[in-house]
Amino acid sequence: MTIRTLLLRLIPALALVATSPGAWSQEDAVDTSATTLVPRGNVFTTEGREFWVVFQKNFRDFVVNEKTQAQEPAAALELELFITSSKTTKVTIDIPGIDFHQERTLRAGRVINVQIDSAAQLRSAETIEQLGVHIVSEEPVAVYGLNRRYQTTDTYLAHPVNVLGKTYRAMGYRWLQNDLLSQLAIVATQPNTRVKITPSVTTNGGTRLGAVPRPAGVPFEVTLNRGDAYQVIPKYDPNGTSDLTGTIVEADKPIAVFSGHNCAYVPDLTVKACNLLVEQLPAVQSWGRQFFVGTLAARSSAVLRVLASVDNTQVFENGRLVATLKAGDFYENRDQREHTLITASDPVLVAQFSKGFDNGDNVGDPMMIVVAPTEQFLSAYRFATPVRGSWRHYVNLIAPTATLAELKLDGQRIDAKKFRPFGLSRYSIGQIDVPYGTHTVEGPEPFGLYSYGFGYDDAAYDAYGNGGGQSVEIVVELPDTMPPLMDVRLDRATATITAIARDDRVGDKGFEEIIPVDYENLSIGNVEFQRGSPLVPINLMPQDPKLNAYALFRLRDRAGNASYQTVCVKYDELGDSISVRVLPNGASCDFAPRITFSGLIKYSVLDHHATIPAGSEELDNPLELRASGGKPAWGFHAGAELAYRSDIVLVGRAGLDFWNADAFGYPDSITRRADDGQVISEEFHLERSSAMFTLGAGANYFIVDRRAYLFGMLNFSLPISSSERLTRTILTPANHVYPNGEGTMVMYEGGGPSGLALAIVPELGIGGAIDLRGGLRIFGELGYGFGLTTISPDRDWTVSYPFGRMGAKIRF
């Protein structure tokens, strides 16, 4: 390492002392947020015990017959509430203005639908009507509103009273015809609620006598009592958009606000057909700065809008700056064709719109979904798919990639193969088909969910969409104190290395500076990005692919937090491959291979097959002996392991094995007779004890992560001490004895034949390992060994054995 490189290594450490509030590691930073959710009451989600909702105008009440040009009633209007809960509860629904009252019992885990009189539809403009729909439950419930005519449907997820706010901005769409326009509705939850409305475009002024339009940008006020509903519709302007998007609604008490369009073409007037758009809006205090907006199943493209609440709001799509907005302005992507990560410098509201049937997909129609920010994700959802019939229902799930194996839909694990990476983020997205009814999704960490559906057959030219639930807390922006991170991805198929600089946690402010401080054997692509970008990919290419390489980067975000990250590219000569990793805090790459050392105890049950040649120990013919039941043997070994690649580990071991032989033979070819002529039947018994020095080499092939593996070893065993005893015993006739006057005679006793015998013994088997703390692993193996060569000189003596061994490993 040069002096320059050494100094550059020291600079990061000194800088980190100056810029970091304390000890920090990459692992510590992954799940840390600079944004805090402030609790309010006991319920912080879209489930609750009290709701005020409203049903806005859907298309037209009367249409013109194309043949007769006469007016006739439009298709029947269907208004419904869908209510679900995890507990059995009593639910009441009241609409004071039309004397509507129902009481229903909801069973746990089920969904009920409540048909609402069509008189509850808001038809007026800038007129106070007692058409607020009041839902009260004894237990927390989730409520969905369905507003439907033939071929024009949408749904919304209701927000309970305890999470409502006082400041909102509307989200709508441009005009279609002079009566098919953007719309905004307000429901008061308390008496004498003063509401100030500042329209983004001129309103129509209402239907009352003498009403005059309200000019854009000029606030006007209205006072509402509990349950009063108030709808605002823009004045039709053929030269403008007549779009209420950005209209600000402010109240002195909590209110519920709904907005959308009574029948819109999306993305423009050339793409049929029109559909109702409606969502209940979150208050500005619950907006966020990070949104995962997935594509829609069965559709090739969509439209998304990002609405700002303060001036100079920067909006990024997948790390690319696409707009800088004033308060009340919006950015629109009219052709979203990929999963899109939206980040903003200040809180924003994001909505996604499906396109009309005739955009080329020939599926569904327009609908609107208000997308929940990452800040408001939950770890469990209960939702309902509220439309029966010829519909395909979907949910988009956006979850941390590391948690996919633990996600459950209705209590059953979701196949992780249904998910795909969400760009360069740490999240993945799954588009899951679900049937009609109520469902639950649970995970170990917060994730996002929204629900939608498209009609077919008799329900063609129709669609719906809504959030599946979210936290609805006050998001308080805290100072960004977390340094940026970096990770790296290797595409082995193309040998492409991509370093990803990240300042993409909730609350992060995005990048100010990325500098390659030092590098070796790497070509670094252009580090170009727009200030505030949360994700910056950097292409790295080894100049010599068969040498190690590194790059040291300095990362600084817009809050002034800095970190140094080292990308290490290691070439494996044995496997002719490379591996990559990132070290935090500017640490130096250690290219020395990591070695694992182990110690083990081995237990075997030996079977022997030995042939003693003729002429040995007074034998006239060869004597064949075999083990009878086998004898136990013990071994004590030490070993070392080196990773060849991620699933193959090379293994070397050395140690002592203590073998005991106990073999018997009954040679039919050796015939001896007693003096009286009787045939002598004999048994030969060989006992051998030996200490073997064993060297072994082999490999482990992992079949389950790093826990289960197959192994093969080739062992070379050399006896370092041995003792033998060969005896013969007369079995019949019983009264016959050897010259020593006994029925048993020792033929040989000593250290065994002289000479060198190297036993070659392959072993095959299966093993498993469990990780403990401090890099320690315990393991166990079961296998079978079989000798290929003799273990004793001048004899054909082989062994085979089943065995088990267990031990511990530690990695350095």
In a domain, 42, yes or no: no
Average pLDDT over residues 111-131: 96
Between 623 and 444, whose confidence is greater? 444
pLDDT grade, residue 28 (50/70/90)? Answer: very low
- Dihedral sign from CA coordinates of 567, 570, 571, 572: negative
| pLDDT value of residue 162 | 93
| pLDDT value of residue 39 | 36
Between 211 and 550, whose confidence is greater? 550
| 313-326 core/surface letters (b: 16 or more CB in 10 A; e: else) | bbbbbbbebebebe
| pLDDT value of residue 646 | 67
Beta bridge partners of 685: 664, 727
Helix/strand/coil (H/E/C) assignment for every residue in 307-322: EECCCCEEEEECCEEE
pLDDT in tens, 506-563: 889 999 999 999 999 999 988 989 999 999 999 999 998 888 999 999 999 999 999 9
Task: Choose one of 546, 569, 586: the last residue of a domain.
Answer: 586
734 lies in the same domain as 797: yes
299 lies in the same domain as 384: yes
pLDDT in tens, 267-322: 999 999 999 999 999 999 999 999 999 999 999 999 999 999 999 999 999 999 99
129 lies in the same domain as 175: yes
In a domain, 43, yes or no: no
With a cut of 50, say whether residue 7 has pLDDT above it.
no
Q: In this prediction, what percent of the chain has a pLDDT beyond 70?
A: 92
| pLDDT value of residue 610 | 82
In a domain, 40, yes or no: no
With a cut of 50, say whether residue 92 has pLDDT above it.
yes
In a domain, 116, yes or no: yes
CATH classification at residue 761: 2.40.128
Q: Which DSSP category does 222 fall into?
A: E
Q: If residue 599 lies in a helix (H) or strand (E), which one and from where to where?
A: strand 595-612
| pLDDT value of residue 629 | 58
In a domain, 176, yes or no: yes
Region at 55 (left for phi over 0; alpha for psi -120 to 50; beta for the rest): beta
Tokens of 753: 């034949």
220 lies in the same domain as 259: yes
In a domain, 336, yes or no: yes
- 691 phi and psi angles, rounded to 5 deg: -105, 125
Query: What residue type is assigned to position 791 of the chain?
Result: I
Task: Choose one of 586, 603, 618: the last residue of a domain.
Answer: 586
| pLDDT value of residue 679 | 80
509 lies in the same domain as 612: no
In a domain, 365, yes or no: yes
With a cut of 70, say whether residue 381 has pLDDT above it.
yes
pLDDT grade, residue 237 (50/70/90)? Answer: very high
Q: Pairing mode, if any, of strands 511-520 and 496-502?
A: unpaired
pLDDT grade, residue 742 (50/70/90)? Answer: confident
Cis peptide before 584 (omega within 30 of 0): no
138 lies in the same domain as 246: yes
The mean of the pLDDT values for the chain is 89
Q: In this prediction, what percent of the chain has a pLDDT beyond 90?
A: 68
Whether 352 and 303 have beta carbons less than 8 Å apart is answered as yes
| pLDDT value of residue 678 | 78
Between 753 and 422, whose confidence is greater? 422
Whether 244 and 182 have beta carbons less than 8 Å apart is answered as yes
Instruction: Quote the number of domains for the chain.
Output: 3
With a cut of 50, say whether residue 171 has pLDDT above it.
yes
Tokens of 18: 């100056």
| pLDDT value of residue 671 | 62
Q: Exposed/middle/buried for 576, CB within 10 Å: 0-12, 13-18, 19+? A: exposed
Distance CA 615, CA 651 (A): 43
219 lies in the same domain as 79: yes
pLDDT grade, residue 618 (50/70/90)? Answer: low
pLDDT in tens, 151-165: 999 999 999 999 999
| pLDDT value of residue 575 | 65
Whether 567 and 487 have beta carbons less than 8 Å apart is answered as no
127 lies in the same domain as 247: yes
311 lies in the same domain as 442: yes
524: Cβ contacts below 8 Å, ≥ 6 apart? 516, 538, 539, 540, 551
pLDDT in tens, 665-710: 876 545 667 667 778 888 888 888 889 999 999 999 988 777 899 9
| pLDDT value of residue 213 | 94
742 lies in the same domain as 792: yes
DSSP SS3 for 378: strand
605 lies in the same domain as 548: no
Query: What residue type is assigned to position 205 of the chain?
Result: G
Q: Which domain holds residue 541?
A: 3-34+478-586
17 lies in the same domain as 87: no
Cα distances (angstroms) measured from residue 295 to each of 288, 289, 338, 396, 638: 20, 19, 6, 9, 55
| pLDDT value of residue 322 | 97
Average pLDDT over residues 420-425: 95
Distance CA 685, CA 66 (A): 111
| pLDDT value of residue 796 | 82
Average pLDDT over residues 224-249: 97
| pLDDT value of residue 26 | 29
Task: Choose one of 475, 504, 538: the last residue of a domain.
Answer: 475
| pLDDT value of residue 35 | 34
In a domain, 271, yes or no: yes
